[in-house]
Amino acid sequence: MKIPFSPPYINQDVIQEVNSALESGWITTGPKVKLLEELVCEYTLAPNTLCVNSATSGLMLALKWYGIGSGDEVIIPAYTYAATALAVIHVGATPVMVDVEADFNISIHNMEKAITSKTKAVIPVDIAGWPCDYEAIDALVKNKKDLFKPSSENQEKLGRILVISDSAHSIGATYNNQYLGAITDITVFSFHAVKNVTTAEGGAVCINLPKPFNNQEEYNYLRCFSLNGQTKDAFTKSKAGGWRYDIIYPGLKINMPDILAAIGVAQLPEYFEKTLDKRVEIYEYYHKFFQAKAWAVLPPYKSENKTSSCHLYALRIKDISEATRDAIIEEISKNGVAVNVHFQPLPLLTLFKNMGYDINAFPMAFNNYKCEISLPIYPQLTQKELEYIVNTVTKAVESKI
Ligand SMILES: *Cc1c(COP(=O)(O)O)cnc(C)c1O
């Protein structure tokens, strides 16, 4: 049996929706993007949503919106995908990495210790789809108000550290019975090909700023900023008589095209109504099976106030070395099951190592990484395939530990 790690979920509805974009005479940012933005708002209850070409650019856009740049610090977990750090680097600020907890997510205690008068934002990451402790983060940034030194109009207006959640994994996850998107100041979802909902490449920026901000006004600003700071998008300009425009900000060019938005338009309702439940079922199947194994450490997926979007099944094997984990993965792969590791802590990667980040400062991130194996999880998996996966993993683990 050959089982891929994360093939995209493409059905006839997706194909039809993409065809309708192709046949409509308009293929870049236009009505399909608008519709996808409305659907994200409808399902997550985010006040406003802007779709962009990736979560990475969505994070950069949020940082730029807050006037973050050279000399500023942004706190991120050491255990995440590189994009979280790169977005900070691309706006000229310094990523301040902190260690995580056993649930893979950023440690609030370490976040607190890392806050200085230069801290302008924190980017907690919902690893594997498991929401961070947002009440604690909210309390923390409010507690640290006195330390905050505003240096832009929006910073003056908010008067505290901005909370941008890297929710690349966690669309559909809930916190206090509420979908993510309307929890933090700004939530960034990814619609990359391997994520729970995809547009092949893409991202969504949910805007949920407190008063006195007007979220619709900030959406208008960000939309313009994501299109080179141009006052009219190409769709409006293409109408007869609509030729004149102006450039009013040094914007980015990070808009999402309609062809891609069409994929998301077809996927999003089905995800919230059906395929998310299917992911939960698979999680529960894995859980039931591995619960009986003394060597298995199961990933969190529900608690009193949180539910996961079940993006990754991050299985850990108790007390094994990195070399043993690698050998187990090789054995599993030989038997046709594609697995993965999420994530290599950033300080293990050359770029960050060369910048001076040292893995020894992040013992929990390393411990989570060294024994972690992510198993396939997607709605197309059949019962037979799931059985094959758990048996293959078990055989591989038990032959190596
Ligand atoms: C996938 C991912 C991103 C980046 O998403 P893109 O849409 O590919 O830019 C950011 N953060 C995390 C944690 C991710 O897994």
Domains contained in the chain, CATH given: 12-262 (3.40.640.10), 271-400 (3.90.1150.10)
Q: What are the CA-CA distances from residue 90 to residues 85, 106, 109, 126, 349 (Å)?
A: 9, 22, 27, 22, 17
Between the CA of 55 and the centroid of ligand 1 the distance, in Å, is 6
**Can you give the pLDDT at residue 203?**
98
As a whole number of angstroms, the distance between CA 374 and CA 300 comes to 13
- Residue 51 Cα to ligand 1 middle (Å): 14
Residue 169, pLDDT score: 98
Distance CA 40, CA 127 (A): 20
Ligand 1 site: residues with CB under 6 angstroms?
A: 54-56, 80-81, 83-84, 125, 166, 168-169, 190, 192, 203
pLDDT, tens digit only, all 401 positions of the chain: 999 999 999 999 999 999 999 999 999 999 999 999 999 999 999 999 999 999 999 999 999 999 999 999 999 999 999 999 999 999 999 999 999 999 999 999 999 999 999 999 999 999 999 999 999 999 999 999 999 999 999 999 999 999 999 999 999 999 999 999 999 999 999 999 999 999 999 999 999 999 999 999 999 999 999 999 999 888 888 888 888 999 999 999 999 999 999 999 999 999 999 999 999 999 999 999 999 999 999 999 999 999 999 999 999 999 999 999 999 999 999 999 999 999 999 999 999 999 999 999 999 999 999 999 999 999 999 999 999 999 999 999 999 99
Residue to mutate, 51, 192, 194, 195, ligand 1, most ligand atoms under 8 Å from C-beta: 192
**Dist. CA 153–CA 151, nearest whole Å:** 7
Structure tokens given for 337: 């099951």
Q: Ligand 1, closest atom to CA 169?
A: 15
User: What pLDDT, on the 0 to 100 scale, is given for residue 177?
Assistant: 98
* Predicted local confidence at residue 377, as pLDDT: 98
Handedness of CA 7, 258, 255, 308 (dihedral sign): negative
Q: Which atom of ligand 1 is nearest to the CA of 54?
A: 7
SS3 282: helix
Integer angstrom CA distances of residue 305 from 32, 135, 344: 34, 11, 28
Q: What is the pLDDT of residue 235?
A: 83
Q: Are 185 and 37 in contact (CB under 8 A)?
A: no
Tell which atom from ligand 1 comes closest to the C-alpha of 202.
Answer: 7
* pLDDT computed for residue 236 by the predictor: 82
Do residues 94 and 88 lie in contact, with contact meaning Cβ atoms separated by under 8 Å?
yes
Q: How far is C-alpha 272 from the geometric centre of its chain's CA atoms?
A: 17
What are residue 296's DSSP bridge partners? Answer: 317
User: Around Cβ 44, how many Cβ atoms within 10 Å?
Assistant: 26
Q: Enumerate the active-site residues.
A: 195
Return the pLDDT at 232: 85
State residue 237's pLDDT score. 82
Rounded CA-CA distance 263/274 in Å is 16
| Pocket residue to mutate for ligand 1, from 166, 189, 190, 263, most atoms within 8 A of Cβ | 190
